[in-house]
């Protein structure tokens, strides 16, 4: 079913509020098998909203709107939609009761403004808002269908999960199968080269998308639902995975730090980290995972040479001879943090994030990453320069991925 | 000048790519004095793009598009715009030269695909892309003006800053005066209460917006340009700042870690950090600032009690008696990291980010933050629970803000 999203609100056009709703809805609609044809953001003016409705209904038979359902005078979505669908606002006693209960829970009492939230269009289905006062609405008039949701993200999401998802299931016949393969450490073009045979012989209604982010590429396979396609999809996943080998770190929604956590837990290994140029970011990524304290003991961010020498016990001579950004220093950092923090694995990162710090032989974006265990250490050199913040991110993801491949 | 944004790309409609560009552009256009009337996202189909152009030119005289400028066959923005503005693609030798230089820097050579990026519309002004191969373009035909930018965010932003900003200055007559006051550590409602008198007596064409993020609130004052309003704006900034006192950490685009960096440099103070539940995130924030190595010496992420005891020298008895999440432990962490890392200031954070780890007396979201210098230490207890990732962010921003206020 062709679908459009209309986001309503002056605050979004002024860049005061980040519109996270439409990204969420895009993902959810795709997963539900709806074909999103356009997204529009308009002001809180009735004629702008009506223009947007007309434009979108020319391109689609379902519109989802967010925003403009609050009790203040600038929230005009409800009245505008009632007019558009030739109905009027009436009082809904059930909605009033529910709002009262919600307010009681928050130690508040019903005001005039709250009461107006129980005035809703006569010809529509009410979509219950369990977390706020603005009900969702579903309008239908011949081939025109519209779902109106509040703009507050957590309210919108709750209504979507509980009320809209079943509704969409009844509206959308065509179901979608989807599968993600997550890779790290290789460029999109390299992956494309390796799986070009598979891609060329992709069945007609299968789609393969490359979704790159810094240091990672997610492959998304999608197709229409059938038992046959489900088998083909599983088969494709296996084929792609076997070609890409250890570039693949997981499937679905898993993150790289989660994949590492699973390996460390399975192998009963503990980890410590010595960071320099990444300034704590690698440790932060590792600790985004709930329960990471099971394997991550801690880290040392040695942002100065004194800390490297006095705390990490890197030999002064090594830094004087090779510099802090060197293979030798990276090895000592990883080897020593492992010993000092008494862990199975030590990971180190030392490099030049920029914008300052480059020398004639050491360019911006140069980084050494070392992984050490009791027996040996393994060091890698990379160069990547897209500005400080992106460099830090690339260094961190690369370090995690090098670690992952060595503990597999 | 009435303005629209058109974001072009199937990947955004499918929810595969987050559209961060249009939020950035909304902010920038508002600051430049353009009135954004609508935002649209469309697929990579020529007729959808043309429909969107027609819709937007009915509502505005300037359109900014992003996306669809890559060298692959699904990138059709360039040809579509050339057709729309009645011109043809021609070869630009200068653009080719620049692409070659860019590739040389990345150790790559010119391919057929890269070469096609030097084919650009004859009747347009080229907006130089210093970071990628897709040039921006400015078209003008009578009252219709269009700026086309690539979809890669860092390329788009660079072209916007360097090429589009001066262009907008010449296009937009009505100038906007805008000023941001950045605060941390207090809720929007508290600030609103404190400055309600000032807000009530705001001159008619002044607007005050509250832009909250986790642990911070940015106040944005805007008005139309005049000498009179410039004076009034400065006066308002002073008034608000004097009411809010040390809640204000800076003006304009400054970040909290930058504000701290400026104070540390001015007072010639060095900093070390002992993190527990924030897992390296505070150190990461501090090191987002270029040149932070001038004052930040390093940190210890003690994610386990052994590290706290063996490395940070927290007394075992303190942890046994009060727990790792306690005032006493926070004080020892800050005091000891300062001594061990030999810095003027020590900052510590220990708390429960969740989802696990709560006990009957220690709820999720409980955190102790301590700042120590040579003479004394000061510890604060906070509670904030909105889930692990938001808790980590809140703990980190709060720690930075407590540090800031103590070194002022």
Which of B171, B195, B228 is a domain's end point? B171
B281:A279 CB<8 A: no
Indicate the DSSP class of residue B161. I
Q: What CATH number is attached to the domain comprising B185?
A: 3.30.70.2860
Instruction: Tell me, yes or no, whether B6 and B80 share the same domain.
Output: yes
Domain limit, last residue, from B154, B171, B188: B171
In terms of domains, do B117 and B214 share one? no
- Report the residue of chain B nearest A396, measured CA to CA: B284
The verdict on B123 and B197 lying in the same domain is: no
Q: Residues A354-377: what's their mean pLDDT?
A: 96
Rounded to 5 degrees, what angle do the CA atoms B200, B203, B204 make?
100
**Alpha-carbon gap, residue B400 to A1, rounded angstroms:** 49
Contact B178, B220 (CB under 8 A): yes
Average pLDDT over residues A206-224: 91
Residue B69 lies in a domain: yes
Q: Which residues, 6+ apart, have CB-to-CB distance to A108 below 8 Å?
A: none
Full residue range of the structural domain in which residue A305 is found: 261-407
Percentage helix, strand, coil for chain A under 3-state DSSP, each rounded to 5: 45, 25, 30
**Do the beta carbons of residue B376 and residue B335 sit within 8 Å?**
no
Determine, yes or no, domain membership for A282. yes
Contact B15 A38 (CB under 8 A): no
Question: What is the mean pLDDT of the segment spanning B382-400?
Answer: 94
Is A299 within 8 Å of B297 when comparing Cβ atoms?
A: no
B288 and B218 inside one domain:
no
- Interface check for B189 against chain A (CB to CB < 8 A): the answer is no
A–B CB contacts, 8 A cutoff, strictly below: 218
> What is the band of B16 on the pLDDT scale with cuts at 50, 70, 90?
confident
Query: Residue A252 is inside which H or E element, if any?
Result: none
Whether B111 and chain A come into contact, CB under 8 Å, resolves to no
Say whether both B165 and B247 belong to one domain. no
pTM of the full predicted structure?
A: 0.89
Q: Which of A280-284, B189-193, B236-240 has the lowest mean pLDDT?
A: B189-193
What integer pLDDT is reported at residue A73 of this predicted model? 76
The residue to which tokens 């990971």 are assigned: A347
**What does the pLDDT read at residue B105?**
75
Contacts of A287 in chain B (CB under 8 A): 278-281, 301, 303, 392
Tens of pLDDT along A314-327?
999 999 999 999 99
Q: What are the beta bridge partners of residue A179? A: A221
If pLDDT is split at 50, 70 and 90, which confidence band does A312 have?
very high
Considering only CB atoms, which chain A residues are within 8 Å of B51? 59
Nearest to B280 among A15, A281, A390 (CB): A281
pLDDT at B281: 98
Strand order in the sheet with B248-251: B207-213, B216-224, B176-184, B248-251
Model pLDDT for residues B36-53, shown as the tens digit of each residue: 999 999 999 999 999 999
Tell whether B255 is within 8 A of chain A (Cβ): no
Indicate if B213 and B320 belong to the same structural domain: no
Q: Residue A290: its pLDDT value, please?
A: 97
A138 and A223 part of one domain: no
Q: Are residues B154 and B214 in the same domain?
A: no
Final residue before a domain boundary, out of B196, B230, B251:
B251
Q: Which residue of B has its CA nearest to A219?
A: B16
> Å from B16 to nearest chain A CA?
7
What chain A residue is nearest to B357 in terms of C-alpha separation?
A291
Bridge partners of B351?
A: B367
- Residue whose token pair is 């020298």: B313
Chain B CB contacts of A282 under 8 Å are 280
For chain B, helix (H) and strand (E) counts, in that order, are: 17, 17
pLDDT band at A11 (very low <50, low <70, confident <90, very high): confident
| B279 → closest Cβ in A27, A287, A388 | A287
Q: Which residues 37-76 in chain A show a CB within 8 A of chain B?
A: 37-43, 48, 51-52, 55, 59
pLDDT of residue B31: 85
Q: Does B54 reside within a domain?
A: yes
Residues of B in contact with A209 (CB under 8 A): 11, 14, 16
Question: What does the pLDDT look like over B245-261, one tens digit per residue?
Answer: 999 999 999 999 999 99
Q: Can you give the pLDDT at residue A104?
A: 83
- In chain B, residues with a C-beta closer than 8 Å to the C-beta of A36 are 13-15
**Whether B373 and B284 share a structural domain:** yes
What average pLDDT score do residues B305-316 get? 97
Same domain, B203 and B270: no
Residue A288 lies inside a defined structural domain of this protein: yes
- pLDDT tens for residues B338-387? 999 999 999 999 999 999 999 999 999 999 999 999 999 999 999 998 88
* C-alpha span between B297 and B305 (Å, rounded): 23
State residue A109 phi and psi, 5-degree precision.
-115, 165
A40 contacts A67 by C-beta, under 8 angstroms: no
Chain A residue closest in CA terms to B38:
A42
Neighbouring CB atoms inside 10 A of A76's CB total 17
Search chain B and give the residue with CA nearest A279. Answer: B284
Record the tokens describing residue B16, joined without a space: 């595969």
| Highest-scoring range by mean pLDDT, A164-173, B24-33, B68-77, B248-257 | B248-257
pLDDT at B106 > cutoff 80: no
Residue A256 lies in a domain: no
Arithmetic mean of pLDDT, A108-113: 80
Q: How many domains does chain A have?
A: 3
Identify the CATH number of the domain in which residue B376 sits: 3.90.950.20
Parallel, antiparallel, or unpaired: how do β-strands B216-224 and B207-213 relate?
A: antiparallel
- Whether B256 is covered by a domain: the verdict is no
Tens digits of residue pLDDT in B128-149:
999 999 999 999 999 999 999 9
The residues facing A349 across adjacent strands are: A275, A369
Residues A354 and B75: their CA atoms lie apart, in Å, by 33
Q: Evaluate whether residue A381 is within a structural domain.
A: yes
pLDDT (0 to 100) of residue B102: 87
Q: Is B388 on the interface with A (CB under 8 A)?
A: yes
Tens digits of per-residue pLDDT, A145-182? 999 999 999 899 999 999 999 999 999 887 889 999 99
Domain CATH code at residue A145: 3.40.980.10
Specify whether the backbone of B401 is left (phi greater than 0), alpha (psi in -120 to 50) or beta.
Answer: alpha
**ipTM of the prediction greater than 0.85, yes or no:** yes
Question: Which residues are within 8 A (CB) of A148 and not within 5 positions of it... i.e. 6 or more apart?
Answer: A64, A65, A66, A69, A77, A78, A81, A136, A137, A138, A139
pLDDT at B115 over 90: no
User: Reduced to 3 states, what is the DSSP secondary structure of residue A211?
Assistant: strand
Inter-chain CB proximity A283 and B279 less than 8 Å: yes
Asked whether residue B393 falls in the same domain as residue B317, the answer is yes
Supply the pLDDT for residue B182: 97
B154·A38 Cβ contact <8 A:
no
Q: What is residue A246's DSSP assignment?
A: G
pLDDT band, very low/low/confident/very high, at B3 (cuts 50, 70, 90):
very high
User: In terms of domains, do B89 and B155 share one?
Assistant: yes
């Amino acid at each position: 079913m062709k679908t459009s999203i209309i986001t309503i609100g002056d605050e979004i056009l002024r860049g005061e509020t980040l519109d996270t709703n439409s990204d969420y809805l895009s993902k959810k609609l795709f997963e539900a098998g709806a074909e999103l044809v356009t997204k529009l953001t308009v002001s809180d003016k009735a004629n702008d909203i009506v223009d947007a409705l007309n434009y979108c209904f020319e391109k689609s038979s379902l519109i989802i709107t967010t925003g403009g359902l609050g009790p203040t005078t600038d929230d005009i979505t409800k009245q505008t939609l009632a007019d558009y669908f030739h109905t009027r606002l009436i009082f809904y006693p059930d909605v009033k009761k529910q709002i009262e209960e919600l307010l009681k829970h928050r130690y508040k009492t019903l005001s005039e403004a709250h009461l107006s939230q129980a005035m809703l269009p006569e010809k529509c289905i009410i979509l219950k808002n369990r977390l706020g006062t603005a009900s969702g609405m579903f309008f239908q008039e011949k081939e025109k269908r519209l779902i109106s949701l509040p703009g507050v993200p957590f309210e919108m999401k709750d209504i979507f999960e509980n009320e809209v998802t079943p509704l969409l299931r009844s509206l959308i016949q065509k179901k979608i199968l989807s599968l993600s393969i997550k890779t790290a450490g290789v460029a999109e073009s390299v992956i494309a080269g390796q799986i070009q045979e598979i891609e060329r012989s992709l069945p007609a209604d299968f789609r393969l998308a490359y979704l790159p982010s810094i240091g990672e590429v997610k492959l998304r396979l999608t197709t229409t639902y059938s038992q046959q396609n489900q088998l083909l999809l599983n088969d494709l996943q296996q084929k792609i995975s076997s070609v890409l080998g250890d570039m693949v770190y997981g499937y679905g929604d898993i993150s790289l730090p989660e994949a590492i956590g699973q390996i460390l837990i399975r192998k009963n290994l503990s980890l410590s980290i010595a960071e320099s140029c990444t300034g704590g970011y690698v440790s932060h990524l590792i600790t985004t995972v709930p329960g990471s304290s099971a394997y991550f003991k801690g880290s040392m961010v040695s942002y100065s040479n004194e800390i490297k020498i006095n705390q990490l016990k890197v030999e002064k001579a090594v830094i004087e001879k090779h510099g802090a950004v060197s293979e030798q220093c990276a090895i000592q950092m990883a080897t020593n943090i492992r010993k000092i923090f008494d862990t199975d694995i030590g990971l180190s990162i030392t490099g030049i994030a920029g914008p300052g710090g480059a020398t004639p032989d050491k360019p911006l974006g140069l980084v050494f990453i070392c992984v050490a265990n009791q027996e040996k250490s393994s060091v890698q050199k990379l160069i990547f320069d897209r500005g400080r913040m992106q460099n830090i991110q690339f260094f961190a993801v690369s370090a995690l991925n090098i670690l992952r491949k060595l503990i597999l």
